[in-house]
Chain A
Amino acid sequence: NAGVTQTPKFQVLKTGQSMTLQCAQDMNHNSMYWYRQDPGMGLRLIYYSASEGTTDKGEVPNGYNVSRLNKREFSLRLESAAPSQTSVYFCASRQGDTQYFGPGTRLTVL
């Protein structure tokens, strides 16, 4: 089992560009999450999907959209990147009360 995988690992964008961060899990979990981590702060929830076909906003959803493509995949899209979106992005899936995290995508917006 690969667990939770994320692509890409690193990305540099210019302000205004768009991109999609990909996340997949092979643990057959229903719930999936997107977080961002900024220096000196804990993770903050951007969006989550309680089950296939549903998505909901988290604490910091502005500037992002998500798609729960199927049970395995949950993507995060930045339509028009801004320097404030420079961060490390983590995807997670949940089994019971425990969340399993991917290795992260380090995104820099210039």
Chain B
Amino acid sequence: SQQGEEDPQALSIQEGENATMNCSYKTSINNLQWYRQNSGRGLVHLILIRSNEREKHSGRLRVTLDTSKKSSSLLITASRAADTASYFCATDGTTDSWGKLQFGAGTQVVVTP
């Protein structure tokens, strides 16, 4: 079963615009991570937010976490054509399930010049 559900499934924006995608999950987590996948490639780690954090920034990325709502959002500011990719949230559980990431189905982002 998928732990994370992502919304929207697809997003089409123009260069310079911001892209926001959301992730909801079901069970307690140790941390939540976001990964990017370019077409035909492996996943690349973008950013991690721990369960005791509410917001984190990395370059043009901003991620928030609301553990009371079991949800997270990823914001990419000033998007570029190179940001075209699929973005996945992954939850890392507590104790026995630590390290066994559970992925959402992903948001496909297309950035047009």
Contact = CB atoms under 8 A, between A and B. Distances in A.
A43 B88 contact: yes
A42 B33 contact: no
Q: How large is the interface on A (under 10, 10 to 19, 20 to 34, 35 or more residues)?
A: 20 to 34
23 contacts: A33-B100, A33-B101, A41-B105, A42-B103, A42-B106, A43-B88, A43-B101, A43-B103, A45-B101, A48-B99, A48-B100, A59-B102, A90-B42, A97-B30, A98-B48, A99-B101, A100-B45, A101-B42, A101-B43, A101-B44, A102-B42, A103-B41, A104-B41
A99 B4 contact: no
Interface string A1-17: 00010000000000000
Interface of B: 1-2, 4, 30-31, 33, 35, 40-45, 48, 88, 90, 92, 99-106
Interface of A: 4, 31, 33, 35, 40-45, 48, 50, 58-59, 90, 92, 94, 97-104
